[in-house]
A and B are shown apart, each in its own frame.
Chain A
Amino acid sequence: MKFRGRVWIVGDNINTDLILPNKAFYLTHEEQTQYVFHANRPGWAQQVQKGDILIGGSNFGMGSSRAAARSLKNLGLACLVAESLNGLFLRNCVNFAFPALECPGVCAAFNEGEEAEVDFPRARVTNASRGKTLSGKPLPPPLMALVEAGGVYQLLEKEGLIAPKAQGA
């Protein structure tokens, strides 16, 4: 899992209400993506292009258990690199196989719009525009295995423990 893409930068303590507001709960997964950062950065979701990389501050994803990580993934973001990740949010990144990495110093190492290269398993983050590399914290092996397996639902589906996903859900 290696990614290269244009970076977007957001600050500390980004909460899940900002990523997936309550009013989007009844919408389809695709429609939900259009509400990411609707309250703090209106119009942003519409500018994201497939393969872009999100850089966040400390305690990224604080707040509720809602499937906010799924919205970031469905929006087309390749991965998330944050100063630190909220524990519950990290669970949902793993659950939905959205690559998310903790990398102290990442915010200062990038300006928005620069290119990043992320080697997810090795937790190496390079500012391709400047040629500077940071070392993050690799995901513990059992969690890495879950991400590589495609997340919890893929795993359970393969084992015949949940029904195949309904179309459009």
Chain B
Amino acid sequence: MGMTIAEKILAAKSGNKTVIPGDVVTVDVDTVILFDNNFLPTNWRDILKVADPSKIVVTFDHRVPAPTQQAAAAQVTGRAFVKKFGIRRFHDVGHNQGISHQLVADYGYALPGSVLLCSDSHTCSAGVFNCLARGVGGPDIIYAAIKGQTWFRCGETVRYELTGRLPAAVTAKDAFLQIAGVHGAHATMNVEYGGPGVASLSINARKTLTAMSAELSAEFATFEADEVLAEWLRARNPAPFEPVRPDADAKYLAVRKVDLSTLEPLVALPDSVVNNSRPVGNARGTRIDQAYIGSCANGTQDDIELAARVVKGRRVAAGVRFIVTPASQTVYRDTVASGAIQVLLDAGAMIAPPTCGACGGGHMGVLGPDEVCVTSSTRNFKGRMGDPSSQVWMASPATVAASALTGFITDPREFLQ
């Protein structure tokens, strides 16, 4: 029987000929990523042995630079771990630092057919590289670092067949909000993205879809491989790789077409990502206190340059805090070089250092009582970005930037044609 991409990788990595939905399999893990929260005093358990230091990546991303003594203590513990086991791929605060999922893209850490784990729920972001990547629990990470293995329960696969090309001012975030709005949660399921429309999406745009798939509660989110992906990886990682294609007779729970050319800017209303999308016009007139661009979903060079195009030659509305957080130091340097950061600064944006920061309500833009934020980050749960009475609306970086200019949730097509 034919297999989907996820089933094929699960089979290869577990030493089985086939894997079908419902199977629980033990698989070899190629890459284990640890980040600062793993090392927080309340989370960390001192590891005495690791399976293979060359398979481990360590970064500090959730709370960088350390905003509290506990966060600083976590970094001290993390540095000691790196030293103890001679971890080479260490992204300390400084030149190579970034949000783990962005680093996977910047450095080509995920190759097609591989298995990657990190205890951040948006780890499925790396599925853009035609691999299996999953957010797991902190103990799963410690187990995988020590044993080199983990377990997965295979779910059924839903395939999204993308066609067409996104209109101006419409982004992959809007495509995601369309899918999440119409089809809701995909709990226990794998999501596979493919089709002729993929070719028109940059790796950064595709990564928005895979990172946001965490919000679908998907097990894995995986893109088909193509030449755009191969080129990206070859520029960053000399290791050979073999793309994984679904079998022609693979069995899907559903195959759903998404015509990118028919999409429009959307917003998710506060408190839930899924089943909560509306055309941006429905939110017209919603006053905002803060506009946020960043996170593993939308802190890429594409996102920051898009925001710069929207605000170029204009000023952020009085009373609005416009916070832009590049997802890594590489993205930060590249967007300084391209001039986008200067444009954003001139418009009145605050540029925060690469960190998960305000997306998780940790620091660098936490919301106060009754404040309203429009964000391009990953989640809009109640209290997610700060006070439980605050409101978080979710939209594309273009919509967020347009809203920063007017002080109200605004259709970006008013500024970009």
Residues of A within 8 A of B (CB): 13, 15, 17-18, 21-23, 25-29, 32, 38-40, 58-59, 62-67, 69, 84, 86-88, 91-92, 95-96, 140, 142-143, 151-153, 156, 160-163, 165, 169
Query: Given the known A-B contacts A32-B42, A59-B217, are A17 and B384 also in contact in the complex, defined by CB atoms under 8 Å?
Result: yes
Candidates A17, A38, A142, A162; contact of B47 at CB < 8 Å: A162
- Report the minimal beta-carbon distance from A158 to chain B, rounded to whole angstroms: 13
Question: What distance in Å separates the Cβ of B341 from its nearest Cβ neighbour in chain A?
Answer: 28
A39 touches B45 (CB 8 A): no
Residues of B at the A interface (CB closer than 8 Å) are: 24, 26, 37, 40-43, 45-49, 68, 70, 119-121, 134-140, 142-143, 146-147, 151, 153, 155, 185, 187-188, 217, 219, 272, 274, 360-362, 379, 381-384, 388
Q: Which residues of the other chain, A, contact B143 by a CB distance below 8 angstroms?
A: 152, 156
Contact B388 A95 (CB under 8 A): no
A129 to B207, CA, bound (A): 50
Give Cα A87–Cα B173 distance, bound, in whole angstroms.
24
CB pair B24–A140 under 8 Å, yes or no, is yes
Please give, as numbers and ranges, the residues of chain A lying within 8 Å of B119 by CB-CB distance: 65
Residue of B nearest to A28 (CB): B42
Closest-CB distance, A76 to chain B (whole angstroms): 18
Least CB distance, B89 to chain A, in whole angstroms: 21
B383 touching A39, Cβ below 8 Å: yes
Across the interface, A169 reaches (CB within 8 A) one of B42, B48, B142, B185, namely B42
User: A169 — which chain B residues lie within 8 A by C-beta?
Assistant: 41-42
Given contacts A26-B68, A65-B120, contact A152 B140 (CB under 8 A): yes
Beyond A18-B381, A87-B155, A91-B137, 19 additional contacts (C-beta under 8 Å) are A17-B384, A18-B383, A25-B42, A28-B42, A39-B382, A62-B185, A63-B379, A65-B136, A65-B138, A67-B138, A69-B137, A87-B188, A88-B217, A151-B139, A152-B143, A156-B142, A156-B146, A162-B146, A163-B48
Hey, which chain A residues are within 8 Å of B142, CB to CB? 152-153, 156, 162
Residues of chain B lying within 8 A (CB to CB) of residue A152: 139-140, 142-143
Question: In the bound complex, how far is the Cα of B92 from the Cα of A76, in angstroms?
Answer: 38
Across the interface, do B37 and A25 meet the contact criterion of CB distance under 8 Å?
A: yes
Select A18's contact among B45, B153, B382, beta carbons within 8 Å.
Answer: B382
B45 pairs with A162, CB closer than 8 A: yes
* CB-CB under 8 A for A65 and B135, given A18-B382, A21-B383, A26-B68: yes
Q: Which residues of A contact B139 (CB under 8 A)?
A: 92, 95-96, 151-153
14 contacts between A and B (CB under 8 A): A18-B383, A23-B361, A26-B68, A28-B42, A59-B185, A59-B187, A65-B135, A91-B140, A95-B140, A143-B24, A151-B139, A156-B142, A163-B46, A165-B45
Complex: chain A residue closest to B49, CB-CB: A161
B77: shortest Cβ distance to chain A, in Å? 12
Measured between alpha carbons, how far is A62 from B274 in the docked complex, in Å? Answer: 11
What residues of B have a CB within 8 angstroms of the CB of A32 in the complex?
A: 42
CB within 8 Å for A161 and B48 given contacts A87-B187, A169-B41: yes
A152 to B143: give the CA distance in the assembly, Å: 7
A65 touches B46 (CB 8 A): no
Take A25-B40, A67-B137, A88-B121 as given contacts and tell me if A153 and B45 are in contact as well, using a CB distance cutoff of 8 Å: yes
Inside 8 A of B48's CB, which chain A residues have their CB?
160-163
Complex contacts, A142 vs chain B, CB 8 Å: 24, 26, 151
